[in-house]
Amino acid sequence: MKLRNLALVLAAAAGLAAQADDAGVLLQRAIRKESVEGDLKGAIELYKKVVAGAAKNRAAAAKALLRLGECYEKQGNAQARRAYERLVREFSDQKGEAREAQARLAAGGYKSVVAQLIAKGSSLGLRGWLIGRVTPDGRLCTFIDQQTRDVGVRDLHTGEVRRVTNEGTLAPRGTGAATYPVPSRNGKQIAYIWRRALGQPELRMINTDGSGMRTVPFRWGSGDYFQVRDWSPDGKSILGSGYVHEPYWWGVATIDLGSGEMHRLRSLAITT
């Protein structure tokens, strides 16, 4: 009888070990989908399966939950915060992952993808300043080429770096410099400010492949300033911050990309 009980215990232990191994294998598959194949949706589904099996392998589930939050970040999905909060709440025994989740929450909800890329520094291989944004699908990162002051993009999956505009001050027939390149929610267009060598700046849009550049009919006054911050979900307007010189106004506003009309949302001016 004792031998039989021992055999049952050993069989159960072997079964648990196999289940833990299965969770580990599933986790590695998810990581490969995310990092190698660039399939965020597929990776998210696999990470969810690992998290669902938390009772069998808490270590793997905690790692999966942390990476799940990272995937949501790349998509610009607010569920990233929920993933980190759940990790802190339910997996405090997994100290490394819980500590990382707490750090992301303390940094304003979660670290932006751009902040993570800046932390990697020269490993990006960018020839310019990383002052743009990463597309919601985590595919492209916009930047300004330091040598020509043109808009550039880097494909974060293939490593390819290419210039999108070719009008910077050091380029043939250069007329100015680009600033604040922000990709649209669908990752197909980039909005940016073109600072001209002579004359008023321009608000421009261009496709990420370098085609279809057009100037938005936004009216600039002398001394006006505007910085692109984000696109609306429907791609018809952009959100930004800046100031109008006369009469003076400083705050947050949207600009309609069709008409160029500005809609002031909130003043940031300090009055005394």
The first and second tokens of residue 118, run together, are 């800046």
Averaged confidence pLDDT in the chain: 78
Task: Return the pLDDT at 106.
Answer: 66
Nearest CA-CA partner of 193 in 173, 177, 175, 209: 177
Task: Return the pLDDT at 9.
Answer: 41
- Residues 207-248 have pLDDT tens digits of 999 999 999 998 887 778 888 888 988 889 998 888 877 777
Tell me which DSSP letter residue 125 carries.
-
Per-residue pLDDT at 45 exceeds 90: yes
How far is C-alpha 120 from the chain's CA centre? 14
Task: Return the pLDDT at 40.
Answer: 85
Domain ranges within the chain, ordered by starting residue: 2-108, 114-267
DSSP H or E run through 91: none
Task: Return the pLDDT at 168.
Answer: 64
Task: Return the pLDDT at 114.
Answer: 46
- Residues 8-26 have pLDDT tens digits of 444 444 444 444 468 888 9
Task: Return the pLDDT at 174.
Answer: 55
Task: Return the pLDDT at 134.
Answer: 81
Task: Return the pLDDT at 206.
Answer: 96
Task: Return the pLDDT at 17.
Answer: 42
241 vs 221: CA distance, rounded Å: 15
Largest CA distance in the chain: 94
Nearest CA-CA partner of 262 in 213, 203, 174: 203
Per-residue pLDDT at 2 exceeds 70: no
Residue at 204: amino acid letter: R
Q: Kindly indicate the confidence band of residue 77, based on its pLDDT and cuts at 50, 70 and 90.
A: confident
Contacts of 29 (CB under 8 A, 6+ apart): 46
Q: What percent of the chain has pLDDT over 70?
A: 77
Contact 137, 40 (CB under 8 A): yes
Contact 87, 99 (CB under 8 A): no
Task: Return the pLDDT at 14.
Answer: 41
Q: Which CATH superfamily is domain 114-267 in?
A: TolB, C-terminal domain (2.120.10.30)
Per-residue pLDDT at 205 exceeds 90: yes
Query: Residue 51, exposed/middle/buried by CB under 10 A (0-12, 13-18, 19+)?
Result: buried
The first and second tokens of residue 231, run together, are 């696109």
Task: Return the pLDDT at 221.
Answer: 77
Rg (CA), the chain: 24
SS3 225: strand
What's the CATH class of domain 2-108?
A: mainly alpha
- Residues 124-178 have pLDDT tens digits of 444 455 567 888 777 788 888 877 788 989 887 777 888 898 876 554 455 788 8
